[in-house]
A and B are shown apart, each in its own frame.
Chain A
Amino acid sequence: MTDLTKLTIAQARDAMRKGDTSSAEVTAACLTAIEDAGALNAFVHKTPEIATKQAAAADARIKAGDAPAMCGIPLGIKDLFCTKGVPSQAASGILEGFKPEYESTVTSQLFDAGAVMLGKLNMDEFAMGSSNETSVYGDAVNPWKVDDRKLTPGGSSGGSASAVAADLCLAATGTDTGGSIRQPAAFTGITGLKPTYGRVSRWGVVAFASSLDQAGPMTKDVRDAAIMLQSMCGHDPKDSTSADLAVPDFEAALTGDIKGKVIGIPKEYRMDAMPAEIAKLWEDGTAMLKDAGAVIKDISLPHTKYALPAYYVIAPAEASSNLARYDGVRFGHRAKLDAGDGITEMYEKTRAEGFGHEVQRRVMVGTYVLSAGFYDAYYNRARRVRALIKRDFDNVFADGVDAILTPATPSAAFGLGEMTDADPIQMYLNDVFTVTVNLAGLPGIAVPTGTDASGLPLGLQLIGRPWEEADLLNVAYSLEQSAGFVAKPNKWW
């Protein structure tokens, strides 16, 4: 078999079970591809020894029969996941040298299912960013290119998106606090799913904003997202917010039959100055679902406009609390101290040296909105608005809407460095279509459905009812079949 790295999870699973290839072969092909792809800066810690060992074990298990679907599948793991004995830095200088003594629940479950870890993937520092430009490892680069410019793969899961799009791994883990799986997936022409809040355990995932963070799969197609999600989710006693609910068979739900499903089109997502290409992509997607037998319904989510400002209170507030643990005492970086420096200087110097600019800014904004005198005006008000945003969704779902279709991003991938001088709010606008989903705790999926005039991929987002990822994946599967997006980046790296 040729081009083993181009296989989807489903294809590799079936080929391995038939004996047409082995995990050892696919893993070796991925490791070679990773060695050749330094220019993408996607893999930042490579683990070939672990991968080779896991692949051999997976092959033995497949041969013995009855191996799970993820058995032998080589994956990239976002640097936000703690992996035992392997650097896990959240792309931050403050976690330089940190090697966890434990394994995150998500990676434990994937490894128990026989998945293979190729290494750790680049990302924005502490998942704060939309372009992978805040990473201590430097920028990850989008494998898509239409001129001399190097483009962002999006963020925060930029390394994950770049690696999957460039066929360096069969799939990757991502995390999503405001759009960090779906926006990079859309920028790189892959599929990215953020599950319902509580579907996937957060234990062992470096915390950014705990009430918003969810891990999910980033894959080459919708079927793979269903297969990989199956292994990632489930109740975990170590995460008190993880849901003790039965996990359905997601792949079995992919019938492609969406006749009679009601798809909501929210008018508030038709932003002023929406590029014509994005508007057309959205109209085309709507027509595809209608042709497949869905009922299209215009809906209103009146508080949409307030989602980004609410997010930029809640997420920094939670981050300022979560990141208080980086104090130079228990793990990671500690600043060199001058004579006479006490513990306060140790904290202040350590955090100034260890955190990058965007992280410092968000920690301080969070500190401000939580400080005495402002807590009610900012933090409590944002939490009230969050309740209203969720109520908007509750209302349309109660009215019979099964899923909501929106654009995934306001544009195609932009050039690295192009937003450097922009006001931070301009960068935050990347999350305008995705952030509502985190605030409401809903499942959302980005599916590539077209390209812009220059040939860069564009994606649409589908938003589902809570806990109904199976149904959501099926609508996404239908959209994927109709769109027939098969373009791949030309190899330049």
Chain B
Amino acid sequence: MSIDTETARRVAKLARIKVEDDALPALAAEFSAILGFIEQLNEVDVEGVEPMTSVTPQRLKRREDVVTDGDQQEAVLKNAPDAREGFFAVPKVVE
């Protein structure tokens, strides 16, 4: 399957990665090559096979629904590029 530059642009947008217009054709060509490689999967008969959800047949553990962690505001904000008054700060979202 061949990916055009419009599709490449849409995927970059969905992935929230800025790609300049002049880089889109090369990106589209790379996607096409990788997807071409992946197309081999169409040869496999997967009729009646469930998609794997867990490689080990284990049931996830349950625990009491209680608070086990928290109260670490300082540690949580320590690595933030912009933290103010106990919050993460971002550009204005709502006008």
Q: How far is the CA of A405 from the CA of B34 in the complex (A)?
A: 29
Closest B residue to A335 by beta carbon equals B18
Residue from B50, B53, B72, B81 with most neighbouring chain A CB atoms (10 Å)? B81
Check B67 for interface membership: any CB of A closer than 8 A.
no
Contact between chains at B44 and A329 (CB < 8 Å): no
Check A111 for interface membership: any CB of B closer than 8 A.
no
Which listed residue (B17, B39, B56, B58) contacts A364, Cβ 8 A? B17
Q: Of residues 45 to 95 in B, which have CB atoms within 8 Å of A's CB atoms?
A: 46, 49-56, 58, 60-61, 63, 72, 75-76, 78-82, 88, 90-93
Residues of A within 8 A of B63 (CB): 237
Given the known interface contacts A99-B79, A367-B11, A423-B33, the answer about A384 and B91 at a Cβ–Cβ threshold of 8 Å is no
Residues of B within 8 A of A425 (CB): 33-34, 37
Q: How far is the CA of A329 from the CA of B89 in the complex (A)?
A: 7
Closest B residue to A342 by beta carbon equals B91
Q: How far is the CA of A388 from the CA of B51 in the complex (A)?
A: 9
Contact between chains at A197 and B55 (CB < 8 Å): yes
Q: Chain B's nearest CB lies how many Å from the CB of A240? A: 5
Given the known interface contacts A197-B55, A197-B56, A303-B44, the answer about A367 and B18 at a Cβ–Cβ threshold of 8 Å is no
Closest B residue to A369 by beta carbon equals B38
Contact between chains at A98 and B79 (CB < 8 Å): yes
Q: Of residues 388 to 425 in A, which have CB atoms within 8 Å of B's CB atoms?
A: 388, 390, 423-425
Contact between chains at A364 and B27 (CB < 8 Å): yes
- Give residues in B with beta carbon < 8 Å to A: 3, 7-8, 11-19, 27, 30-31, 33-35, 37-44, 46, 49-56, 58, 60-61, 63, 72, 75-76, 78-82, 88, 90-93
Residues of B within 8 A of A102 (CB): 75
Residues of A within 8 A of B78 (CB): 99, 101
Check A346 for interface membership: any CB of B closer than 8 A.
yes
A88-120 interface code vs B (CB 8 A; 1 in, 0 out): 000000000111111000000000000000000
Closest B residue to A320 by beta carbon equals B15
Q: Which of A250-258, A264-272, A279-287, A307-315 contacts B (4 or more CB under 8 A)?
A: A307-315
The 5 closest A-B pairs by CB, nearest first: A441-B55, A383-B51, A334-B81, A331-B79, A384-B46
Which listed residue (A98, A313, A348, A363) contacts B41, Cβ 8 A? A313
Closest A residue to B10 by beta carbon equals A371
Contact between chains at A312 and B34 (CB < 8 Å): yes
Contact between chains at B27 and A424 (CB < 8 Å): no
Q: Chain A's nearest CB lies how many Å from the CB of B48? A: 9
Name 16 A/B residue pairs within 8 A (Cβ), A-sorted: A99-B78, A198-B58, A305-B40, A309-B38, A309-B39, A309-B41, A312-B37, A328-B81, A329-B81, A334-B81, A382-B38, A383-B52, A384-B49, A385-B44, A440-B55, A441-B55
Which listed residue (B17, B33, B55, B82) contacts A348, Cβ 8 A? B17
Q: Of residues 306 to 337 in A, which have CB atoms within 8 Å of B's CB atoms?
A: 306, 308-310, 312-313, 320, 324, 327-334, 337
Contact between chains at B41 and A381 (CB < 8 Å): yes
Q: How far is the CA of A428 from the CA of B33 in the complex (A)?
A: 12
Residues of A within 8 A of B46 (CB): 381, 384-385, 388
Main secondary structure of the interface of A (DSSP, over half): helix
Contact between chains at A363 and B61 (CB < 8 Å): no
Residues of A within 8 A of B92 (CB): 342
Residues of A within 8 A of B41 (CB): 306, 309-310, 313, 378, 381-382, 385
- A-B pairs with CB below 8 Å: how many? 169
Contact between chains at A364 and B44 (CB < 8 Å): no
Which listed residue (A309, A334, A352, A368) contacts B82, Cβ 8 A? A334
Contact between chains at B93 and A343 (CB < 8 Å): yes
Contact between chains at B90 and A390 (CB < 8 Å): no
Q: Chain B's nearest CB lies how many Å from the CB of A223? A: 27
Residues of A within 8 A of B7 (CB): 368
Closest A residue to B74 by beta carbon equals A101
Given the known interface contacts A240-B61, A303-B44, the answer about A352 and B52 at a Cβ–Cβ threshold of 8 Å is no
Q: Chain A's nearest CB lies how many Å from the CB of B72? A: 8
Residues of B within 8 A of A439 (CB): 55
Contact between chains at B34 and A424 (CB < 8 Å): yes
Q: Chain B's nearest CB lies how many Å from the CB of A290? A: 31
Which listed residue (B11, B44, B93) contacts A368, Cβ 8 A? B11
Which listed residue (A241, A243, A344, A387) contacts B49, Cβ 8 A? A387
Residue from B18, B60, B61 with most neighbouring chain A CB atoms (10 Å)? B18
Given the known interface contacts A244-B61, A385-B44, A387-B52, the answer about A344 and B16 at a Cβ–Cβ threshold of 8 Å is yes
A424-448 interface code vs B (CB 8 A; 1 in, 0 out): 1100100000000001110000000
Q: Chain A's nearest CB lies how many Å from the CB of B29? A: 10
Known: A306-B40, A383-B53. 15 other contacts (CB 8 A): A211-B54, A240-B61, A244-B61, A310-B41, A334-B82, A348-B16, A352-B17, A352-B18, A361-B30, A369-B38, A381-B42, A383-B52, A384-B46, A384-B50, A385-B44
Residues of B within 8 A of A320 (CB): 15
Q: Chain A's nearest CB lies how many Å from the CB of B22? A: 14
Contact between chains at B56 and A371 (CB < 8 Å): no
Q: How far is the CA of A360 from the CA of B15 in the complex (A)?
A: 9
Closest B residue to A346 by beta carbon equals B91
Check A451 for interface membership: any CB of B closer than 8 A.
no
